[in-house]
């Protein structure tokens, strides 16, 4: 009975268990999850999705690969080559500069520089730290390297200039610590007679930002040096030539493996100047201890035969990195050697202006050739407190224009200036080249100043006073002229109004084709109108009297130049109005001036001399001009060798 009861209970328990299991199966569908057909279908779906993903990635990869290998092949090929191939510019050798007779003024010498490619410097501070262990770096050089590194135009940084192979061999011992530095050959500019030609030649220096943004200069890729002043600057595009290049294959470290291609640079054109070096040196040696300017010009074509601004300076200093100390010495030199006095020195012309004022008065019918003015040593201007004095205290007596020019009578020209008026004077002096550039082929030329009512009202907000007109009449007061302007004006006068723009270029030669291009002065010729030739002859004859009429002319005390007669006009420009500038303090003494041309009957040269604080024009400037004329006449037969 008991056994039967136990069996019933077990059966009941199993039924309950089965019943619960069915309920769970119904709730969670375990029967469907375990279905083999559904499982296979699920696997296929997952495989399909995975396949689609793989195909998508593969197609994308192939599209990108096609784009790289085909569509953008050129781009990536260039980019790849840029990592493997380096283009190194090869600078063209600068053209040589000669004088008119074929004497070398500027050429080039081969030297070596220690450099580093800027692209190889990863850390400038670390580079400089290692560099100090190899070479001596002072503060100036240290800062110079940093500035070169910051200059985006420069591809190479110059560490040391003009080093010898022996010096490099000592550096090479430890170069393994800084293998990116290298020795490279360089063509360096060299100036012969550097001080004598300093202001006409100028010099070359490193390319600056101002040079890069210049609208005139052609800056070639990799160019590191450029003309800075003088002829080197003005004719930069002719002298510089065409650069070449080297296509170099490099390894992963940037070191050169081999040269793949090379294009040779084209040397710059050679230039022949109008300058006569022998004459230039003669003049400079004569005046180098003075301050001032000397110009010698051929009035028949505008050739500048000598161009001397004194003192000069050694322009070879600028072909290498100039130290701050050396530059400071030049800047602070009391004699101011860096100023080009020929074109930017502005001086009161003094009595050298009188021939032109006299011509204006004659041409405007203010006076006639026989007009007499009595000089008793001073001129009284109505309503003016003090008299205007003549340089000759006891006066010249009755003087006409010719005698007034010969004796340089101030009173005569006070009166003429008063009668003519500042408006007529300023308007007519402009035609002789005063108050404007002469357009000589150099940069930096000043215009000088012809003062008038409008100028004074604008600049000083003051009216024009009658006494100021008198000062202009003798080349004083506000009137300023450059030595080049005085030379051009004298040339116009000597050549009866035929005027040539002054120039320094004689010719230039293409070193590839050997073609010689000559400067044509007739393309730069014009006529300055002279209203009456007779009036011009009166002035010219008076200038002849200045030099040749003994005991009358202010420069007649000088020794004759053989059988050559020449004309001139002395001038003394007042610097300090106390005691007429006659003081023991040099920088308060008058400037000495002399304008001249020779020979008188058929002019070949115009000579202008200005000596700052030199005292009298007749005692200081005129003798210098006389010696220059003599030297020229004795040596003018030498052959011009520009075609050799």
**Which residues are CB-neighbours of 618 under 8 A, at least 6 positions away?**
554, 555, 557, 570, 594
What is the CB neighbour count within 10 angstroms for residue 146? 14
> Between β-strands 104-117 and 181-191, what pairing exists: parallel, antiparallel or unpaired?
antiparallel
> Among candidates 408, 402, 404, which has minimal Cα distance to 542?
402
Token duo for residue 516? 């010689």
Rounded-to-10 torsion of CA 165, 171, 175, 181: -60
∠ CA 285-288-294, rounded to 5° = 90
Tokens of 233: 């600057």
Phi-psi region of 602 (alpha: psi -120 to 50; beta: other; left: phi over 0): beta
Give me the residues paired with residue 249 across strands: 85, 258
3-state secondary structure 402-417: HHHHHHCCHHHHHHHH
- Crossing angle of helices 422-429/354-363, nearest 10°? 110
Strands 97-98 and 104-117, bridge-based pairing: antiparallel
State the helix-helix crossing angle for 354-363 and 483-494, rounded to 10 degrees: 50
Does 351 qualify as catalytic in the annotation? yes
Question: If DSSP codes are grouped into helix, strand and coil, which group holds residue 196?
Answer: coil
Q: Are 508 and 272 in contact (CB under 8 A)?
A: yes
Give the integer Cα–Cα distance in Å for 468 and 478: 8
Given the residues 198, 351, 426, 494, select the one marked as catalytic.
351
Rounded Cα distance, 227 and 153, in Å: 17
Residue 92, beta-bridge partner list: none
Dihedral (CA of 492, 495, 497, 503) sign: negative
What's the token pair of residue 561? 């130049």
What sign does the dihedral 69-70-71-73 (CA atoms) show?
positive
Provide long-range contacts, Cβ within 8 A and 24+ apart, for 176-182.
Answer: 177/130, 177/133, 177/134, 178/127, 178/130, 178/131, 178/134, 179/255, 180/116, 180/117, 180/120, 180/121, 180/254, 181/114, 181/115, 181/116, 181/131, 181/134, 182/114, 182/115, 182/116, 182/117
Owner of token pair 């010096």: 167
DSSP state of 69: I
CB 191 within 8 A of CB 315: yes
Centroid of chain to Cα 378 = 47
Any idea which residues carry the catalytic annotation?
Answer: 351
């Amino acid at each position: 009975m008991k056994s039967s009861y136990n069996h019933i209970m077990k059966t009941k328990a199993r039924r309950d268990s089965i019943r619960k299991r069915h309920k769970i199966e119904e709730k969670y569908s375990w029967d469907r999850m375990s279905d083999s057909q559904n499982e296979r279908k699920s696997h296929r779906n997952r495989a399909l999705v995975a396949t689609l993903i793989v195909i998508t990635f593969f197609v994308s990869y192939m599209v990108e690969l096609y784009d790289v290998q085909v569509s953008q092949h050129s781009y990536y090929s260039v980019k790849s080559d840029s990592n493997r191939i380096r283009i190194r510019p090869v600078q063209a050798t600068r053209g040589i500069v000669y004088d008119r007779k074929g004497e070398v003024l500027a050429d080039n010498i081969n030297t070596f520089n220690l450099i580093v490619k800027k692209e190889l410097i990863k850390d400038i501070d670390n580079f400089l730290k290692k560099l100090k262990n190899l070479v001596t770096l002072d503060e100036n050089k240290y800062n110079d390297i940093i500035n070169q590194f910051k200059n985006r135009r420069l591809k190479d940084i110059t560490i040391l200039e003009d080093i010898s192979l022996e010096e490099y061999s000592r550096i090479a011992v430890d170069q393994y610590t800084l293998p990116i530095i290298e020795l490279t050959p360089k063509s360096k500019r060299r100036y012969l007679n550097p001080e004598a030609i300093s202001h006409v030649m100028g010099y070359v220096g490193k390319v600056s930002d101002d040079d890069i943004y210049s609208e005139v200069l052609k800056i070639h890729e990799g160019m590191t040096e450029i003309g800075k002043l003088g002829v080197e600057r003005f004719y930069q595009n002719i002298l510089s030539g065409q650069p070449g290049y080297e296509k170099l294959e490099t390894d992963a470290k940037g070191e050169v493996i081999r040269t793949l291609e090379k294009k040779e640079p084209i040397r710059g054109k050679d230039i022949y100047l109008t300058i006569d070096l022998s004459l230039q040196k003669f003049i400079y040696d004569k005046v180098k201890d003075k301050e001032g300017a000397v110009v010698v010009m051929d009035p028949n074509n505008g050739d500048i035969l000598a161009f001397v601004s004194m003192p000069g300076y050694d322009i070879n200093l600028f072909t290498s990195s100039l130290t701050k100390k050396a530059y400071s010495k030049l800047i602070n030199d009391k004699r101011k050697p860096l100023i080009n006095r020929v074109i930017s020195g502005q001086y009161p012309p003094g009595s050298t202006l009188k021939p032109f004022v006299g011509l204006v008065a004659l041409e405007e019918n203010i006076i006639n050739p026989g007009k007499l003015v009595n000089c008793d040593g001073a001129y009284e201007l109505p309503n003016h407190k003090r008299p205007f004095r003549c340089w000759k205290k006891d006066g010249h007596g009755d003087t006409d224009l010719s005698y007034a020019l010969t004796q340089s009578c101030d009173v005569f020209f006070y009166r003429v200036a008063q009668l003519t008026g500042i408006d007529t004077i300023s308007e007519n002096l402009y035609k002789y080249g005063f108050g404007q550039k002469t357009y000589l082929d150099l940069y930096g030329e000043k215009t000088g100043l012809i003062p008038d009512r409008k100028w004074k009202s604008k600049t000083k907000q003051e009216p024009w006073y009658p006494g100021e007109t008198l000062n202009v009449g003798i080349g004083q007061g506000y009137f300023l002229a450059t030595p080049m302007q005085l030379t051009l004006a004298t040339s116009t006068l000597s050549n009866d109004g035929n005027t040539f723009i002054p120039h320094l270029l004689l010719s230039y030669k293409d070193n590839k084709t050997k073609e010689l291009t000559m400067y044509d002065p007739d393309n730069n010729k014009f006529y300055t109108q002279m209203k009456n030739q007779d009036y011009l002859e009166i002035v010219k004859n008076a200038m002849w009297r200045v030099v040749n009429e003994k005991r009358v002319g202010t420069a007649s005390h000088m020794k004759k130049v053989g059988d050559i007669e020449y004309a001139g006009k002395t001038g003394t420009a007042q610097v300090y109005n106390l005691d007429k500038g006659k003081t023991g303090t040099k920088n308060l003494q008058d400037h000495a001036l002399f304008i001249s041309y020779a020979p008188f009957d058929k002019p070949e040269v115009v000579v202008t001399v200005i000596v700052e604080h030199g005292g009298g024009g007749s005692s200081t400037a005129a003798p210098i001009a006389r010696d220059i004329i003599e030297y020229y006449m004795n040596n003018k037969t030498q052959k011009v060798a520009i075609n050799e």
